[in-house]
Amino acid sequence: TNTYHLSFHVQAEMLDFLLFGALISAVDPVAVLAVFEEVHVNETLFIIVFGESLVNDAVTVVLYKVYISFVEVGAENVQTADYFKGVASFLIVSIGGTMVGLIFAVILGFITRFTKKVRIIEPLLVFLMVYLAYLTAELFSLSAILSMTFCGIGANKYVEANISQKSRTTVKYTMKTLASIAETIIFIFLGISAVDKSKWAWDTGLVSCTLVFIFIFRAVGVVGQTWVLNRFRLVPLEKIDQVVMSYGGLRGAVAFALVVLLDGEQVKAKDYFVATTIVVVFFTVMFQGLTIKPLVKWLKVPRATNRKPTINEEIHERAFDHILTAVEDIAGLQGYHHWRDKWEQFDKNYLSKLLLRKSVYRKSELWEAYQKINIRDAISVIDQGGNVLTSARLSLPSMASRASFPEVTNVTNYLRENGSGVCLDLQVIDNIPGAKVEEDMETHHVLAGNLYKPRRRYQSHYSRHFMPLGEQERQDREVFQRNMRSRMETFKSTRYKRHKKERSLKKVRRIKLQVTSPPTSSCDSLSLCSDPVVVPVETEDKAEHSDPEKDEDVGITFIARKAETPKQRPKSGCQIPLLPPPPPAPPSPPPASSSPTSEDSHLPWKGSLGSPPPCVSLEATKIIPVDLQQAWNQSISSLESISSPPAPAEPVHPRVSALSRLGGPRPASYTPPGSAAGSTFSIGPQVSQGSFLFPDKKKEEEEEEEDVEGEWLRRCSRSCLP
Amino acid sequence: MGALQSLPGRPEYSDLAEKTGFSFEQIGVLHKRFKQLSHNEETLRRDHFNEIHDLAFNPIRAQIIEAFFDRRNFHQDGEGKVQEIGFEEFVVVMSHFRPPSDHMTEEQREKTRREKLRFLFNMHDTDNDGTITLEEYRHVVEELLSRSGTLEKETAKCIADAAMLEVASISVGHMEPDEFYEGITFEHFLKLLDGFEIESRMTIRFLNMDTTTLCK
């Protein structure tokens, strides 16, 4: 083979140049990442360039090794067969590396499935397994970089779902730090080498030609490949995309590292190559890196939308996937969606079952997305900090914020639209407390509604194996529930006649406040405390109550959740059944319930009726239309959190306590209809009285508790059956 | 691909091609598929669709099948449902999923976009009243999520409710206390999915048909 002489200095052969070409053409993922993150181009472009650089790393290394082995053997000794072997080895090395990575991904996913009790070692596990993937690939002389990359890619979905939020954060930031350190060190080394003359030799021709050529040939390569790709793409890659892709090919640390590793004996032109590489890296990173941002702006490249998808968009995303798959199946195509669907089926039925923790497996993505959106909204509500009053009224950031605090919100109407079973808090209507009480109530109401449960200050364990549920997570959940509650309120839809509105408005103000009772230690009252929910909901109804005959819209509202005693735990899934209204009564059985508490007697409106705070039992919850139960339950659980319970009498099932936050059972406050206690669901007379029904005496209730539970169980199971 | 050359009734295809924008080849392929699905009868019925094995696991199978029998999708301003469809209607419905051709004016693009969205809208709006009510939307969400199997109805309802809230806020903005949000009208729907790239999302490449499927 010929030797090429460039400026009489560089002595290099074809093979050497091939080697050099392999290492200099690789796009560096780090540089690309840094620049593109800065620039925020649209996702497609980012993925293309970043993906290329990621795989490039491996390709470069593999090619490099292949060529090095050729060089070692000597160009003369390379036979044709060896070229084929080279290609074959390239394929084996890359695919082999990928497989190793995927195997470790599966192992990692599987292990993290069981780390619930040992959360603290999760990040360590992640690092170690990935490193193990690297080492294993190295052991078999496969592509270690590809192995690590694909281990990460494959395991991402499962590990992310399995490990705790803290572990996720830890892994993320540790990796970033490590990567940062490594990159910095390499660039330091680069800088030092640049200055240390003994390490390189300058050749103008080589350097300048290289600079020009890498740019030109990259562009050629991009254009050519895009042309091929566009035949298969639905959304073709535009010229602008291609420009960005070519321009965004920054060389970086990998090229430098590889060139320095060359053996000076075998590759005589090493020093020249080193010099060239240094210049190339400097040039691309600095010049191209700095100018790409203005270029992107100038070319008006479509930028990334940072807008998080709305719920509707998420729903439709999924809808589209299914629709397209269906149409493909109908048309008999085995298109992209078909295969993707098949993969998802496989994943869902086998992989996820194997690798995901059971509790995670059950949640659907949409629900997760929905929760995330809510939490995010809630947090942003909090961040808006300042005005406590208005923040309570904000639901979706996109929603116009409601005017004033006491404005009536109409979940009532919304609920009404959905039919039946509503309950009224009739008692409240007739009792109008004095102004002072009102004021206190209002203050309390505002405070309770908008502040969070005070944090406990103690710091807990330092156990290596135990990590308690963080305050943050609790708070997040609380925020979420609150937000959900306010969100429900702000959904306005009503068929309610206007003329009732004025009346109800007036009553609203008063009533709303009335309803709140101070957080008494007895559970029950909590239902009414702090409920922007309850109150407004009831308002509309109030006015109606005066006309019991007109039950076109019987109001609703309900809140309450009965103490979930352990016995009822198995039924907790069943809390939702809709109780059919008892035959004699018009379709809105009032809530029965609450146990009387002495504390409530001081509240004037309660005094006359002698007892129970208008707390509603679980039964009441059942009266809410089934469809809103979930939302409702969330709302009320947040309500419950407001009032602090007494020391729990017995430990409550964690799930239950998570819902109700209060822990501790409460006396059953439900009386089945027609029971001897005399509280019935009959609305008629009571309605007109404006009182609501609840068992007369606490004692009687408790006597009946057993019976109640049984009765409740029966009802529950009956209604639970589809 | 020799089989495609000898398709019967080539001249019929020309008005179909014009109407729907498919090429002759594509129509030919679709015709084959139609014959295959209908067991060489003239019309397709719902039970023919039910025989498609792959479709069985699709959560919105029912809606898609209904969409084929929905007169509103036939571009003839009809309403209501039919019991069986001929090849022409089959192709017309399929044409909703055609990829946009390269040389389309802005107007044409807009038109295609509207058509596709209209198709979607019709799919959701099962009672033909022009709006997607809460009930219908809930149904959609439930169907979508039913595949995961473990999601309860309440959660689905919850999500649907929140989605409705969002639509209300996007389309109507601030609502008066006594306003009633009837449902999503087509205009609102357009606005809602404004950010969506319908052209690429709702397209299928018709030419890449697997001949083995056709031979099944």
Of A346-350, A403-407, A571-575, A668-672, give the range with the top mean pLDDT.
A346-350
Phi, psi angles (nearest 5°) of residue A319: -60, -45
Work out the percent of chain A whose per-residue pLDDT is above 70.
Answer: 47
Q: Do B166 and A367 count as a contact with CB atoms less than 8 A apart? A: no
CA distance B128 to B124: 9
The pLDDT-based confidence of A99 (bands split at 50, 70, 90) is very high
What is the average per-residue pLDDT within A211-238?
87
Examine the domain organization and report whether B77 and B22 are in the same domain.
yes
B141 and chain A in contact, CB less than 8 A: yes
Who wins on pLDDT, A444 or A31? Answer: A31
The answer on B130 and B86 residing in a single domain is no
Run of H or E including A11: strand A10-13
Residue B86 one-letter amino acid = G
Q: What's the rounded Cα separation, in Å, for the pair A576 and A716?
A: 8
pLDDT at residue A174 in the model:
92
Which residues of chain B make contact with A364, given a CB cutoff of 8 A?
A: 145, 148, 150-151
Q: What is the pLDDT of residues B146-204, one digit of tens each?
A: 655 555 667 777 777 777 777 777 666 665 544 556 677 777 777 777 766 766 677 77
Percent of residues, chain B, with pLDDT higher than 70: 72
Asked whether residue B22 falls in the same domain as residue B88, the answer is: yes
Phi and psi (nearest 5°) for A610?
80, -5
Shortest CA distance to A482 belongs to which of A625, A643, A616, A637? A637
Where does the pLDDT of residue A500 fall: very low under 50, low under 70, confident under 90, or very high at 90 and above?
A: very low
Element (H, E) at A5: strand A3-6
Residues 6+ apart with CB under 8 A from B180: A413, A417, A492, A493, A494, A495
| φ/ψ (deg, to 5) at B45 | -120, 175
Residue at B139 is within a domain: yes
pLDDT at A151 over 90: yes
Q: Is B76 exposed, middle or buried (0-12, 13-18, 19+ CB in 10 A)?
A: exposed
- Interatomic CA distance for residues A221 and A26, integer angstroms: 13
pLDDT digit string, tens, across residues A386-399: 444 443 443 333 33
Q: Is the pLDDT of residue B120 over 70?
A: yes
DSSP notation for B19-33: HH---HHHHHHHHHH
* Residue A385: band (very low, low, confident or very high) from pLDDT cuts 50, 70, 90: low
Nearest CA to A624 out of A553, A576, A570, A686 is that of A576
Radius of gyration, CA atoms only, chain B: 19
Average pLDDT over residues A674-686: 37
Average pLDDT of span A356-366: 67
- Measured between beta carbons, the chain B residues lying within 8 angstroms of A370 are 158-159, 162
Side-chain half-sphere of A137: how many Cα atoms within 13 Å? 30
User: Is the Cβ pair A322, B59 closer than 8 Å?
Assistant: yes
CATH number at residue B125: 1.10.238
pLDDT computed for residue A403 by the predictor: 33
Short-list B15, B16, B8, B65, CA closest to B40: B8
pLDDT at B56: 73
B214 interface with A at CB cutoff 8 Å? yes
Using a CB-CB cut-off of 8 Å, the residues of chain B touching A539 are none
Which position has the higher pLDDT, A522 or A369? A369
Which of the pair, B210 or A283, is modelled with greater confidence? A283
Average pLDDT, chain A: 63
Please say whether the beta carbons of A21 and A276 come within 8 A. no
Which of A232, A322, A540 to probe the B interface (max B CBs under 10 A)?
A: A322
Judge contact between A48 and A245, C-beta under 8 A.
yes
**Which of A233, A237, A310, A401 to mutate to test binding with chain B, by most B CBs within 10 Å of its CB?**
A310
H or E element in which residue B15 lies: helix B10-20
Q: Which of B50, B70, B99 is the last residue of a domain?
A: B99
A559-573, B71-85, B103-117: range with lowest mean pLDDT: A559-573
B200 vs chain A: nearest CA distance in angstroms? 6
What pLDDT is recorded for position A173?
A: 93
Helix, strand and coil in chain B, % to nearest 5: 60, 5, 35
Cα distances (angstroms) measured from residue B37 to each of A324, B30, B41, B46, B52 = 18, 10, 9, 11, 8
Residue B120 belongs to some domain of the structure:
yes
Quick check: B209 and A490 CB within 8 A?
Answer: no
* pLDDT score at A363: 62
Cβ within 8 Å of residue A547, ≥6 positions away: none
pLDDT tens, position by position, A513-532: 333 333 333 333 333 333 33
* Cβ-contact A215, A287 below 8 angstroms: no
A637 band by pLDDT with thresholds 50, 70 and 90? low
Question: Which tens digit of pLDDT belongs to each residue from A283-334?
Answer: 888 888 888 888 888 887 777 666 666 667 777 777 777 777 777 777 776 6
CB contacts, 8 Å: A318 with chain B: 144
| The predicted structure's pLDDT at residue A102 | 94
Compute the distance between CA of residue B154 and CA of residue B151 in angstroms, rounded to an integer: 8
Q: Which of A316, A491, A493 sits opposite B193 (nearest CB)?
A: A316
Interface with chain B: mutation pick from A44, A325, A490, highest number of B CBs within 10 Å: A325
Backbone φ and ψ for A544, nearest 5 degrees, come out as -65, -30
pLDDT (0 to 100) of residue A487: 66
Q: Indicate whether B71 and B27 sit together in one domain.
A: yes
Question: Higher confidence at residue A231 or residue A566?
Answer: A231
B70 domain residue, yes or no:
yes
Q: What is the DSSP string of B50-93?
A: HT-GGGGG-TTHHHHHHHHTBGGGGTSS--SB-SEE-HHHHHHH
A146 compared with A564, residue with greater pLDDT: A146
Q: Is position B143 within any domain?
A: yes
Beta strands in A377-524 (DSSP E): none
- Domain assignment present for B213: no
Contact check, Cβ <8 Å, B154/A496? no
Select from A387, A663, A385, A389 the least CA-distant residue to A532: A389
Tell how far CA A454 is from the center of its chain: 26
Angstrom distance (rounded) from CA A503 to CA A55: 70
CA distance B11 to chain A (A): 22
Together in a domain, B128 and B75: no
Across the A:B interface, residue pairs with CB atoms under 8 Å apart total 198
**Pick from B151, B167, B200: which is nearest to A235 by CB?**
B200
pLDDT for A197 beyond 50: yes
pLDDT in tens, B87-111: 887 778 777 777 766 666 778 778 8
Q: How far is A17 from chain B (nearest CA, A)?
A: 42
Please tell me whether residues B38 and B16 are part of one structural domain.
yes
Signed CA dihedral, A347, A350, A351, A357: sign only: positive
The answer on pLDDT for B135 being more than 90 is no
CB A453 within 8 A of CB A641: yes
Q: What is the domain count for chain B?
A: 2
Three-class secondary structure assignment of A88-123:
HHHHHHHHHHHHHHHHHHHHHHHHHCCHHHHHHHHH
Structural domain contains residue B108: no
B94 touches chain A (CB under 8 A): yes
B47 touches chain A (CB under 8 A): no
Q: What is the mean pLDDT of residues B108-119?
A: 80
* B1 within some domain: no
**Nearest by CB to B94, which of A307, A331, A630?**
A331
Q: How confident is the model at residue A101 (pLDDT cuts 50, 70, 90)?
A: very high
Please check whether residues B33 and B67 belong to one and the same domain: yes
Interchain CB contact of B187 with A (< 8 Å): no
**Do residues B125 and B85 both lie within one domain?**
no
Most confident range (mean pLDDT) of A91-100, A420-429, A566-575 is A91-100
Residue A359 has pLDDT above 70, yes or no: yes
- The closest of A552, A562, A591, A577 to A659, measured between CA atoms, is A562
Residues from chain B that touch A408, judged by Cβ atoms under 8 A, are 177
What are the backbone dihedrals phi and psi of residue A464, each rounded to the nearest 5 degrees, phi first? -75, -25
> Between B30, B68, B177, which is nearest A492 by CB?
B177
DSSP A41: B
Predicted pLDDT at A132: 94
Residues B18 and B95 in one domain: yes
**Helices B106-124 and A311-331: angle between axes, nearest 10 degrees:** 90
Spatial separation of the C-alpha atoms in residues A525 and A519, rounded to whole Å: 7
Better pLDDT: A582 or A229: A229
What would the mean pLDDT of B128-133 be, rounded to a whole number?
76
Write out chain B residues lying below 8 Å of A417, CB-based. 134, 180
Query: Residue B73 pLDDT > 90, yes or no?
Result: no
In angstroms, what CA-CA distances link A567 with A66, A521, A587, A630, A716?
70, 22, 29, 21, 13
pLDDT surpassing 90 at residue A134? yes
Interatomic CA distance for residues A430 and A536, integer angstroms: 16
Let me know whether B17 and B89 are in one domain: yes
More confident residue, A375 or A221: A221
Environment class of B152 (CB within 10 Å of its CB; exposed 0-12, middle 13-18, buried 19+): middle
Mean pLDDT of A329-349: 76
Cα A399 to Cα A347, A391, B165: the distances in Å are 37, 12, 9
Residue A38 has pLDDT above 80, yes or no: no
Q: What is the pLDDT of residue A442?
A: 63
Closest chain A C-alpha to B40 CA, distance in angstroms: 15
Going by DSSP bridges, is the β-strand pair B131-132/B44-45 parallel, antiparallel, or unpaired?
unpaired
Of the two residues A632 and A534, the one the predictor is more confident about is A632
8 A C-beta contact, residue B101 and residue B205: no
Supply the DSSP symbol for A303: B
Q: What is the pLDDT of residue A133?
A: 94
Q: Dihedral of the CA atoms A584, A419, A658, A643 (nearest 10)?
A: -70
- What does the pLDDT average to over A352-372? 68
pLDDT band at A453 (very low <50, low <70, confident <90, very high): low
Under an 8 A CB cutoff, do B165 and A366 touch? no
**What residues of A are in contact with residue B56 (Cβ under 8 Å)?**
none
Q: Which residues of B touch A495 (CB under 8 A)?
A: 180
A475 SS3 class: helix
Contact B152 A234 (CB under 8 A): no
Query: Do the Cβ atoms of A219 and A280 come closer than 8 Å?
Result: no
Band (B51; pLDDT cuts 50, 70, 90): confident
Q: What is the pLDDT of residue B63?
A: 78
A103: pLDDT strictly greater than 50: yes
Does a structural domain hold residue B128?
yes
Q: How far apart are CA A618 and CA A575, in angstroms?
A: 8
Which one of A336, A491, A508 makes the best mutation probe of the B interface by having the most chain B beta carbons within 10 Å? A491
* pLDDT at residue A129, as a whole number: 93
pLDDT at A225 over 80: yes
Residue in this structure with the two tokens 């508790």, named with its chain if needed: A705
A79 three-state secondary structure: coil
Same structural domain, B19 and B76: yes
Instruction: Note the helical H segments in A75-203.
Output: 80-112, 122-139, 144-162, 165-195
| Contact call for A312 and B192, based on CB within 8 A | yes
CA distances from A349 to A260, A620, B176 (A): 49, 39, 48
User: What domain range includes position B67?
Assistant: 11-99
ipTM confidence = 0.82
Q: Do A234 and B195 touch (CB under 8 A)?
A: no
Residue A651 makes CB contacts below 8 A (sequence gap 6+) with A663
Q: CATH number, domain at B40?
A: 1.10.238.10
Which of residues 111 through 130 in chain B touch A, CB cutoff 8 A?
A: 120, 123
Q: Is B45 exposed, middle or buried (0-12, 13-18, 19+ CB in 10 A)?
A: middle
With contacts defined as CB-CB under 8 Å, which chain A residues touch B159?
Answer: 311, 315, 366-367, 370
Residue A313: list chain B partners with CB under 8 A.
193, 195-196
Nearest CA in chain B to A315: B141
Inspect the interface and report whether the beta carbons of A628 and B161 lie closer than 8 Å: yes
- Asked if B163 and A315 come within 8 Å (Cβ–Cβ), the reply is yes
Residue A456, classed as helix, strand or coil, is: coil
**Phi-psi bin for A598: left (phi > 0), alpha (psi -120 to 50), beta?**
alpha
Any idea which residue has 């009772």 for tokens?
A: A517
- Using a CB-CB cut-off of 8 Å, the residues of chain B touching A399 are 165, 169, 174
Q: A220 falls in which pLDDT band (50, 70, 90)?
A: very high
Lowest mean pLDDT among A289-293, A410-414, A486-490, B112-116: A410-414
Question: Best mutation site among B125, B153, B161 for testing chain A: the one with the most A CBs within 10 Å?
Answer: B161
Instruction: Examine the domain organization and report whether B64 and B123 are in the same domain.
Output: no
Position A454 scores a pLDDT of 55
Are A313 and B167 inside 8 Å of each other by CB? Answer: no
Question: Of A209, A128, A220, whose CA–CA distance to A171 is shortest?
Answer: A128
